[in-house]
Amino acid sequence: MSNTTTLQLEVEKAKTSKINEVDFDNLAFGSVFTDHMFICDYVNGEWKTPKIIPYQSLVIDPSARVFHYGQAVFEGMKAYKDDNDQIWLFRPKDNFDRINKSSKRMAMPEFPEEYFFEGLKTLLNLDKDWIKKGLGNSLYIRPFVIASEPGVMASPAEEYKFIIICAPAQAYYGGEVRVKIADHYSRAASGGVGAAKTAGNYAAQFYPTKLAKEEGFQQVVWTDANTHEYLEEAGTMNVFFRIGDKLLTAPTNDRILDGITRKSVIEIAKDKGIDVEIRPVKVNEIVEAAKKGNLKEIFGSGTAAVITPVVGFGYKDKKWDLPKLTDAYSSVIKEAILNIQYNKSEDKYGWRYKA
Ligand SMILES: *Cc1c(COP(=O)(O)O)cnc(C)c1O
């Protein structure tokens, strides 16, 4: 018996490419997809032959569990092209580990590492012309898993689909961001699924976020569901606060998504000599610091925008503006991360991965 497995990956190429129809200078985030997709079915207790096929619609029974009970997990990652046309990923093993962690929490089967990496690399190389060079341009990669087995019985499915689709993306700029600190709604509860990247967490956020938008904010800063006294995440990003010269962020727990950008921000900040404290951060502490003029920055971290600076926040009936800094931690750290992602600087951490 041999331990070496030769991965069977079936590739069906698209007959024609849509690439000439795409205006790469005017891309709405996540709305245009490349020519191919990766797909693998889980049936009878095992993952079948993974395939790359032309991007297409799925045929799924309307009774499939995903539509009724939300058995669905996903990831968000990016591919970058350097000046020599080499394609790079950023800490992809962490995305792979996390999708399996999310799957486990949702009673879904874990996916084999070899299938993921071979499938992803083959897909990226097939659709490499969709990855444009230049700082800010990238290919957004969306791996996801759905419960496809027909039947509305409330139990975990026995059939799943693991799929990867890709969307070309430009530098993400959503305009100025003001956040509202939640004092009623929450996105996650202790013992719940907040730490899993599962579809329902997003669905649950839409309504409170819509209310915040009506009040002139773009995102909600989520607080702990029990007391609403501790700051946890900003929208769908992890969140950092700078008081004086100290950078604060909450420790991960089962209500907070363990963001790869968050981990990278912490490591880079420490390396730059910034005093980073990872501990529960109280709403009161931030409000008091804002009153005294010590609150210098709030920013979110996540793959889509790397870092999103916040220009102001609201809590209950009050609003505060944050100062405009020329030497913001958010810009220094963002630049360091981008330089690693685009192969513009040395990567002493080993985060860059050749696709
Ligand atoms: C995906 C996600 C993040 C950011 O994770 P990254 O790995 O940095 O992209 C943060 N919070 C939530 C709720 C998320 O879903």
Which atom of ligand 1 is found nearest the CA of 303? 9
- Summarised one tens digit per residue, pLDDT across range 42-78 is 999 999 999 999 999 999 999 999 999 999 999 999 9
Which atom of ligand 1 is found nearest the CA of 95? 7
Does residue 196 carry a pLDDT above 50? yes
- Summarised one tens digit per residue, pLDDT across range 164-192 is 999 999 987 778 999 999 999 999 999 99
Q: So what's the pLDDT on residue 2?
A: 47
Q: So what's the pLDDT on residue 335?
A: 97
Does residue 27 carry a pLDDT above 60? yes
- Summarised one tens digit per residue, pLDDT across range 96-117 is 999 999 999 999 999 999 999 9
What is the spatial distance between Cα 220 and Cα 204, in angstroms, rounded to a whole number?
A: 12
For a mutational test of ligand 1's pocket, the pick from 138, 172, 186, 197, i.e. the residue with the most ligand atoms closer than 8 A to its C-beta, is 197
Does residue 6 carry a pLDDT above 90? no
Q: How far apart are the first and last CA of the chain?
A: 31
| Domain 3-169, CATH | 3.30.470.10
Q: Give the three-class secondary structure for 163.
A: strand
- For residue 193 and ligand 1, the question of a CB distance below 6 A is answered with no
- Quote the tokens at residue 262: 């968050």
- Summarised one tens digit per residue, pLDDT across range 129-146 is 999 999 899 999 999 999
Characterise 187 by phi-psi region: left (phi > 0), alpha (psi -120 to 50), beta (else).
Answer: alpha
- For residue 194 and ligand 1, the question of a CB distance below 6 A is answered with no
Domain chopping of the chain, boundaries: 3-169, 178-341
pLDDT, the chain, mean: 96
| Domain 178-341, CATH | 3.20.10.10
For a mutational test of ligand 1's pocket, the pick from 249, 303, 307, i.e. the residue with the most ligand atoms closer than 8 A to its C-beta, is 303
